[in-house]
Amino acid sequence: MATAILIIAGIGMVAAVALAVADRYLSVKEDPRIGMVTAELPGANCGGCGFAGCDGYARALVAGTAPNGACAAGGDEVAKAVAKILGVEAAATERRVALVRCCGTRSEAIRVGDYNGICDCNVAAMTAGGDKGCTYGCLGYGACANVCPKGAISVHDGLAKVDKRLCIGCGKCVRACPKHIIELVPASATIHVLCANPDKGPSVRKVCGVGCMGCHLCEKNSGGKEAGHFTFQGFLAKVNYDNPPTDGAIVAKCPAKCMVEDSHFESGH
Amino acid sequence: MKTVKSQFKFKGGVHPDYNKELARDKAIERMPVPAELVVSMSQHLGAPAKCVVKAGDFVKRGQVIGEKNGFISVCVRAPADGKVTAVEKRLGPAGGKADAVILDTTAKEEGAGSGEQGTPILPPLDWKTATREELLKRVEEAGICGMGGAGFPSAVKLNPPPAKRCEYLILNGAECEPYLTADFRLMLERADRIRVGVEIMRKVLGGPAVRIAIEANKPEAIAAMEKAFADIEGNVEIVVLPVLYPQGSEKHQIFATVGRVVPEPPALPIDVGCVVENVGTVAAIADAVEKGEPLLERVTTVSGDAVAEPKNVLAPSGTKYADLVAFCGGEKEQPAKVISGGTMMGFAVSTLDISTTKTTSGLLLLSRKRVFQYESGPCINCGRCVRACPMNLNPAEISKAVESDDVKSAEDAHVMTCIECGACSFGCPAYRQITQLCRRAKASIRARIAAEKAKASAAAEKEKLKSQPVLPEGATRGSK
């Protein structure tokens, strides 16, 4: 009995000494700021900053290889807190949220076939470009909703919508969409053009009841070309988010009905 | 020359309803040039051709309208005289949009003579005296790509790297896809052209042995080829393959004829000393060399129970599906499904406003009776897909992994080897869309590999810049 106790105690002593020595000579010095920065970050591990999780971003911040303000989920507050720890300037950031640039619901946009395959936009897009007549529009099989870490995207009536209050702007949906119609826009912008079809008016009308025809009325009603609230790509109007329009009256004047004020955009839940 | 039975049977495979009797007795009919042609710049595997005409230009039949754009690419020539009305993005059969030249073939250029009919587009060559380089160049400038389906540029296939020797040239006349009879009719009616093509290819490839692979359900084609090749010299054999889908797959054909196994991608048939070409391609090569006729038209089977008169149509590439159907007497009834290609590997399309390409082997219009609507359920672990898979994969495992978004596991289960033949989905009692799941996994793996490559090349670029420090002019390293 006594021998056993002695042996165990002996092993314990040797191990304790070894551990103490290891702690003294083999310890890895880590910048304590990494832990502090990680604590400030939201911890969603969404990857929106381009690094592997919040810890990866914190390390890059401390190493000075990443710009402060890349964390879309944290926004200004986090950028300021990080700036305090690291003693750097906080770049002014604007909260950005995802926007699905399509408003062709099942009742408005023509479906040209019965798609009977796997419920995933990427697969549907590989099958004759999807079942929607408009080859640019939202297919509504929820590839974006499936990757959203916050459950901010829901699909209603064949159309994905983003809940602005829940969206953290990580951009995962932007990469998941096979039609490339999801965009990160400033959360403060209230007026959006929900169409991505740059074709001529008549061919848009053939496939969708609410497609942009490029009539330029929105531009005219918002102060003309000089005001610069809109840009045009083919026959498609795009809101210039560097200088977004604020007058809600132009929305009702859009003859194609593809322009919305914020309410639409928040109706996810 | 002798006819032998295939000594090797690959594992798996299925027996779909062939339904070939609809069009097998219909002789190839040439279709008049339709009023409008939509000629895609992306008719082949690899980089799309670069369009060199603009709206308003008049083009002559055979004129180059799209230039070869890269190593794996072929040129596109105008299938008919006409005026270019537009160059725009048009939907292709597989769903993607590509640049296309829209030709109005009714427009006549003022002052243009019409008496040139019958003059060859390219100077005809005598293959016996022409050099290998001349022949290769001709195949390239004639815009020939594999006509079996994938559309791999033939000039690339016929010019293997010097380290790799071609021992076997395999002619693919299996045509294992249901409904399709285009290759069958070609073997019956143009056997002499196929023979010339074989002799040209044999010369280009340095005299390999030739194996002509035909499924046993085409005895007339076997007889026609036996007759055409009766007095050919050298090692030529007709190999009669058992009727089994996917017998026409390149890899399975190599195994069935010469017993060699092509390793996993990126290995190619040439790595086991084989070159496989579709019989249509071989005939096109013969025409390009002997007659100076580039690849401007092809035989397409228009079939299915919703077509009034199923036919094998020789149509210019760029013919709209709607024109093809009209040539075949129109629709007998409203089709429930339209498939570009065969029923197993073809693409379902939602409109007839799509045009044929160099690889369109068939257009099928199926009625409500032939189209089965189903709902897929969970896997019941019966193992039928495992038995059916000709690539020795475990489709059940792969499909379940992809369903739960675990592409890594699918990759570990060798999903990249999948040839998307559809044998797994065909036999699944739970109606699972296994092939579609495999395609999804392959697409995302390919996207990931492309992204990694782009990242690596960007990093290499950066590294390169770093390793070349900018020194003041005249300064040398280490000088004070």
Question: What pLDDT, in 10s, does the model give residues B176-188?
Answer: 999 999 999 999 9
Point out which residues pair with B173 in neighbouring strands. B214
Q: In chain B, what residues touch A135 (CB-CB under 8 Å)?
A: 91, 97
pLDDT of residue A135: 87
pLDDT of residue A266: 52
Contact assessment for residue B436 and residue A118, using Cβ atoms and an 8 Å cutoff: yes
Task: Give the residue-averaged pLDDT of A75-85.
Answer: 84
Q: State whether ipTM is beyond 0.90.
A: no
Mark yes or no for CB contact A127/B351 under 8 Å: no
Task: Give the residue-averaged pLDDT of A197-203.
Answer: 89
How many pairs of residues across A and B have Cβ atoms under 8 Å apart?
A: 47
In whole angstroms, what is the distance from residue B124 CA to residue B293 CA?
8
Point out which residues pair with B110 in neighbouring strands. none
In whole angstroms, what is the distance from residue B442 CA to residue A58 CA?
34
**Cα of A40 to nearest chain B Cα, Å:** 30
Output the CA–CA distances (angstroms, integers) from residue A255 to A136, A214, A263, B406, B417, in the order listed: 20, 10, 19, 45, 51
In whole angstroms, what is the distance from residue B129 CA to residue B68 CA?
27
Least confident of A159-168, A201-210, B121-130, B459-468: B459-468
pLDDT of residue A267: 46
Query: Residue B68: helix, strand or coil by DSSP?
Result: coil
Mutate to test the interface with B, among A51, A65, A115, A126 (most CBs of B within 10 A): A126
CATH architecture type of domain B2-28+142-291: 3-Layer(aba) Sandwich (3.40)
Point out which residues pair with B303 in neighbouring strands. B364
**C-alpha torsion A13→A15→A21→A22, nearest 10:** -160
The torsion angles phi and psi of A192, rounded to 5 degrees, stand at -135, 150
pLDDT at B469 over 80: no
pLDDT at B107 over 90: no
* B120 and chain A in contact, CB less than 8 A: no
In whole angstroms, what is the distance from residue B355 CA to residue B320 CA?
4
In whole angstroms, what is the distance from residue B75 CA to residue B68 CA?
4
pLDDT of residue B40: 93
Of residues B91, B94, B436, nearest to A117 (C-beta)? B436
Task: Give the residue-averaged pLDDT of B249-257.
Answer: 93
pLDDT at A132 over 80: yes
Mutate to test the interface with B, among A119, A121, A122, A127 (most CBs of B within 10 A): A127
pLDDT of residue A269: 38
Point out which residues pair with B59 in neighbouring strands. B82
pLDDT of residue A169: 86
pLDDT of residue B322: 95
pLDDT of residue B115: 45
Task: Give the residue-averaged pLDDT of B333-338.
Answer: 92
Of residues A118, A120, A135, nearest to B97 (C-beta)? A135
Query: Residue A233: helix, strand or coil by DSSP?
Result: strand
Q: Name the residue with higher pLDDT: A141 or A93.
A: A141
Residues 6 or more apart from B381 whose CB is under 8 A from it? B396
pLDDT at B241 over 60: yes
pLDDT, mean over chain B: 90
Mark yes or no for CB contact B95/A125 under 8 Å: yes
Task: Give the residue-averaged pLDDT of B190-197.
Answer: 94
Point out which residues pair with B76 in neighbouring strands. B66
**Cα of B63 to nearest chain A Cα, Å:** 29
In whole angstroms, what is the distance from residue B401 CA to residue B381 CA?
14
* B96 and chain A in contact, CB less than 8 A: yes
Using DSSP bridges, classify how beta strands A182-186 and A236-239 pair: parallel, antiparallel or unpaired.
unpaired
pLDDT at B49 over 50: yes
Residues 6 or more apart from B60 whose CB is under 8 A from it? B78, B81
Question: What pLDDT, in 10s, does the model give residues A133-170?
Answer: 888 999 999 999 999 988 899 998 889 999 988 888 88
Task: Give the residue-averaged pLDDT of B146-162.
Answer: 90
DSSP code at position B6: -
In whole angstroms, what is the distance from residue B347 CA to residue A214 CA?
33
pLDDT at B318 over 90: yes
Taking CA B448 as the corner, what is the angle to CA B446 and CA B453, rounded to the nearest 5 degrees?
95
Residue with tokens 């250029």: B109
Of residues A114, A118, A129, nearest to B95 (C-beta)? A129
Q: Does domain B33-104 fall into CATH 2.40.50?
A: yes
Taking CA B360 as the corner, what is the angle to CA B359 and CA B362, rounded to the nearest 5 degrees?
140
Question: What pLDDT, in 10s, does the model give residues B426-445?
Answer: 999 999 999 999 999 999 99
**C-alpha torsion A67→A72→A73→A75, nearest 10:** 70
| A contact residues 124-143, partner B, Cβ 8 Å cutoff | 125-131, 135
pLDDT at B479 over 90: no
Mark yes or no for CB contact A116/B94 under 8 Å: no
pLDDT at B319 over 90: yes
Mark yes or no for CB contact B440/A127 under 8 Å: no
> How would DSSP label each residue in B314-375?
EEETTBBHHHHHHHTT-BSS--SEEEES-TTT-EEES-S--B--TT--EEEEE-TTTPPP--
In whole angstroms, what is the distance from residue B236 CA to residue B451 CA?
45
**Cα of B114 to nearest chain A Cα, Å:** 36
Using DSSP bridges, classify how beta strands B209-215 and B168-173 pair: parallel, antiparallel or unpaired.
parallel
The torsion angles phi and psi of A254, rounded to 5 degrees, stand at -70, 115
B297-366 fold: Ubiquitin-like (UB roll) (3.10.20)
Taking CA B375 as the corner, what is the angle to CA B373 and CA B377, rounded to the nearest 5 degrees?
150
Output the CA–CA distances (angstroms, integers) from residue B26 to B60, B135, B147, in the order listed: 31, 33, 20
Structure token pair of residue A49:
């900053």
pLDDT at A72 over 90: no
Buried/exposed B421-453: b ≥16 CB within 10 Å, e otherwise? bbbbbbbbebebbbbbbbbbbbbbbeeeeeeee
pLDDT of residue A92: 67
Mark yes or no for CB contact B350/A123 under 8 Å: no
Mark yes or no for CB contact A122/B439 under 8 Å: no
- Band of the pLDDT at B380, cuts 50, 70, 90? very high
Structure token pair of residue A263:
């309410």
**Cα of B5 to nearest chain A Cα, Å:** 38
> Structural domains in chain A?
32-86 (1.10.15.40), 96-266 (3.30.70.20)
Least confident of A40-49, B132-141, B296-305: A40-49
Output the CA–CA distances (angstroms, integers) from residue B262 to A104, A227, B250, in the order listed: 47, 63, 9
Rg of chain A over Cα atoms, rounded to whole angstroms, equals 26
pLDDT at B110 over 80: no
Using DSSP bridges, classify how beta strands B97-104 and B236-241 pair: parallel, antiparallel or unpaired.
unpaired
In whole angstroms, what is the distance from residue B332 CA to residue B307 CA?
5
pLDDT of residue B411: 93
Least confident of A18-27, A59-68, B2-11: A59-68
Question: What pLDDT, in 10s, does the model give residues B256-279?
Answer: 999 999 998 888 999 999 999 999
Half-sphere exposure of A7 (CA within 13 A, CB side): 4
Cα end-to-end distance, chain B, whole Å? 80
Of the candidates B24, B145, B353, the one whose C-alpha atom is nearest the C-alpha of residue A129 is: B353
B35: left (phi over 0), alpha (psi -120 to 50) or beta: alpha
Cα end-to-end distance, chain A, whole Å? 69
Point out which residues pair with B241 in neighbouring strands. B215
List chain B domain ranges. Answer: 2-28+142-291, 33-104, 297-366, 384-442
DSSP code at position A264: G
Of the candidates B99, B98, B94, the one whose C-alpha atom is nearest the C-alpha of residue B84 is: B99
Mark yes or no for CB contact B443/A122 under 8 Å: yes
Q: In chain A, what residues touch B433 (CB-CB under 8 Å)?
A: 117-118
**Cα of B379 to nearest chain A Cα, Å:** 14
**Cα of A200 to nearest chain B Cα, Å:** 12
pLDDT of residue B480: 38
* B350 and chain A in contact, CB less than 8 A: yes
Strands laid side by side in the B274-278 sheet: B2-5, B236-241, B209-215, B168-173, B274-278
Mark yes or no for CB contact A127/B95 under 8 Å: yes
- Band of the pLDDT at A248, cuts 50, 70, 90? confident
> How many residues can be counted in chain B?
480
**Cα of A70 to nearest chain B Cα, Å:** 20
Query: Residue A221: helix, strand or coil by DSSP?
Result: helix
Taking CA B118 as the corner, what is the angle to CA B113 and CA B119, rounded to the nearest 5 degrees?
80
In whole angstroms, what is the distance from residue A118 CA to residue A98 CA?
25
pLDDT, mean over chain A: 87
pLDDT of residue A268: 41
Question: What pLDDT, in 10s, does the model give residues B212-224?
Answer: 999 999 999 999 9
Structure token pair of residue A157:
């009536």
